[in-house]
Amino acid sequence: MSKFVSWSGIVHATLSSFHPKLRLGQARELLAAALGHNTYASLREHDLQALELSAKCVVLDHHRVLARAAGLGLTLTPDQWWAAHRELTPGRACQGCYIGEDDVMARIARIVFEDTSYPLFHDIARAIGTSDGHWAGQAEGLDGAGLPPDERAFLVHGSVNAFNEEVSLATPVIAEVRFKRVGRQLYSPGWSTKAVQHGSATPYEPDFDGEYYGPVD
């Protein structure tokens, strides 16, 4: 089953509890609006293939949904739409995508940061000893900062953790993560473009949760 068919079915089933006469076609119009289109026909023509084949991040526009509902003569409230939005969760419906409001992009940027192996990260860890992973903190958008019009970028603040026999150190770093727009509200998987050290290393406590085999008092 395609993503759009699956997701519009979930939207229809959820909103029908508030609007028993809601038709599946109307639910598809609402979901198309959430994906940045004035009509379902527009979505089919321009973005449906990208949604099915290349989109990794799907940003839903709640304001468009409410405006489209009004145009369809539906008295849809923000809470009612939010109930449908909650059903479009990774555990139930994502089919390989991340779905959410605009802040989902920052969340995925942090995931890319933690899943990506930068040469700089290896260099920092090797200089200390054994790598203990790299961890993302805050991600801030760089929209409009000289980027191509079809890309979005985020600066992710995080740390590279490593330890040796004497000390465990967390080295602060900043990395840039970019996403290519593949549809009006659709983005490709993110990729890293650069990373720099941003401050001096500080001690940290390793999160070791292994079993204890020593003597018991």
Q: Would you say 78 and 62 are in contact if contact means Cβ atoms under 8 Å apart?
A: yes
Separation CA 113–CA 157 (nearest Å): 9
Bridge partners (DSSP) listed for residue 177? 154, 192
Name, in order, each residue with C-beta under 8 angstroms of 34's C-beta and a sequence gap of 6 or more.
60, 61, 62, 64, 65, 185
Q: Please give, one letter per residue, the 3-state secondary structure of 148-190.
A: CCCEEEEEEEEEEEEECCCCEEEEEEEEEEEEEECCCCEECCC
Q: What is residue 213's predicted lDDT score, i.e. its pLDDT?
A: 39
| Tens digit of pLDDT at every position of the chain (217 positions) | 689 999 999 999 999 999 999 999 999 999 999 999 999 999 999 999 999 999 999 999 999 999 999 999 999 999 999 999 999 876 555 778 889 888 889 999 999 999 877 899 999 999 999 999 999 999 999 876 677 889 999 999 999 999 999 999 999 999 999 999 999 999 999 898 899 999 999 999 876 554 443 444 4
In the block, which residue shows the tokens 């990774």? 90
Length of the chain: 217
Q: Would you say 117 and 96 are in contact if contact means Cβ atoms under 8 Å apart?
A: no
Q: Would you say 130 and 162 are in contact if contact means Cβ atoms under 8 Å apart?
A: yes
The domain limits of the chain are 3-100, 104-203
Sheet containing 186-187: which strands, arranged edge to edge?
Answer: 98-100, 57-59, 186-187
